[in-house]
Amino acid sequence: MSYLALSLTLIFVLIPLILSKTLKLGLEKDTFIATIRSIIQLLAVGYVLKFVFDSNHFIYIFLMIALMIGTATLNARKKGKSIDGITWKIAVTLLTVEVLTQAILLGFHIVPATAQYIIPISGMIIGNSMVLSILFLNRFTAEMHAHRDQVELILSLGGTPKQAIHHQLISAIKASMIPTIESQKTIGLVQLPGMMSGQIIAGADPIQAVQFQLLIVFILLTTAAVSSIFLGFLSYPTLFNSRMQMLKEKF
């Protein structure tokens, strides 16, 4: 795409700006900031990726993944402030999902062990895991507050903290996984996934683009399941003390 053509795509920014101004939505400033940030961030990452792909050195791949995990952790942790140690719990969850997925992909030679494959796939894994973590924490916190009396009931009858929080934990895990599963049911029928569309526009064979998209779709299922379950089981023990009492400030 030429720079002139790229400049013309700003028309798609002008349309919402004009609509916002006309209808007094008050979104002009946010739209403007979002546009500038996306230009700067994407161009910067484009140059960084070019450098990393050209060098194809392990340390740069590692640094890129560490940066992704760090940024995703900082973003997701805001939703789980009531859970002690939520920062490291999210970081460990993202790292586990990344290591597990890449071990399968690289171990079975499903994709080549090059920066060109590892980094974009890692971005999708970590990004999806971050969204899942946020969904899970949102739901889990809401469930805990809404069903405090049930947790107390089970403890009062001699249940363990795990038994007491089981229902809330399972509800939150299911609720966070449902969007991933549901969106995959209509994939290709309602929406063409971004990665596949990008490959086709760039001139790739549609069948090959579909194959890669299937790979990502399946990875995202694992990501969804492992992220919410792992984070859930790391999180719930911090809501109780060693005498199996609910920590008042957490509920």
Partner 1 sequence: MDKVYEPAIHFNHVDFQIGDSKIIKKVTGSFPKGKITTLVGPSGAGKTTLLKMCNGLISPSAGEIFIHNKLITDYDPIDLRRNVGMALQAAPMIKGTVFENLELPLALQSKKLPEEDAISYLDDVGLERDFLHKNADDLSGGQRQKVSIARTLVNQSEILLLDEITSALDRASLKEIEELIVKINGKYNVTMIWITHNLEQALKIGHYTWVLMQGEVIETGESKLLENPQNDLVKHFVQGVIK
Q: Structure tokens of 35?
A: 């546009």
Candidate ranges 104-112, 127-135, 156-164, 173-181; the one touching partner 1 (CB under 8 A): 156-164
Which pairs from 161-166 meet CB under 8 Å and 24+ separation?
A: 161/236, 161/237, 161/239, 161/240, 161/244, 162/236, 164/240, 164/246, 165/236, 165/239
> Which residues in the 4-43 window bind partner 1 by CB under 8 A?
none
For residue 38, give every residue at least 6 positions away whose Cβ sits within 8 Å of its Cβ, in sequence order, or none. none
CB of residue 244 to partner 1, shortest distance in Å = 4
Kindly tell me which of 104 and 146 has the beta carbon lying closer to partner 1. 146
153 is an interface residue for partner 1 by CB under 8 A: yes
Q: How far is the CB of 142 from partner 1 (least distance, A)?
A: 17
Contact between residue 81 and residue 140 where contact means Cβ atoms under 8 Å apart? no
Cβ proximity to partner 1: between 109 and 243 the closer is 243
Decide: 53 and 108 in contact? Cβ < 8 Å.
no
| Minimum distance of partner 1 from residue 158's CB (angstroms) | 4
The minimum distance between CB 50 and partner 1, in angstroms, equals 55
Residues lying near partner 1 in the complex (CB under 8 A) are found at: 149-150, 152-160, 163, 167, 243-246, 248
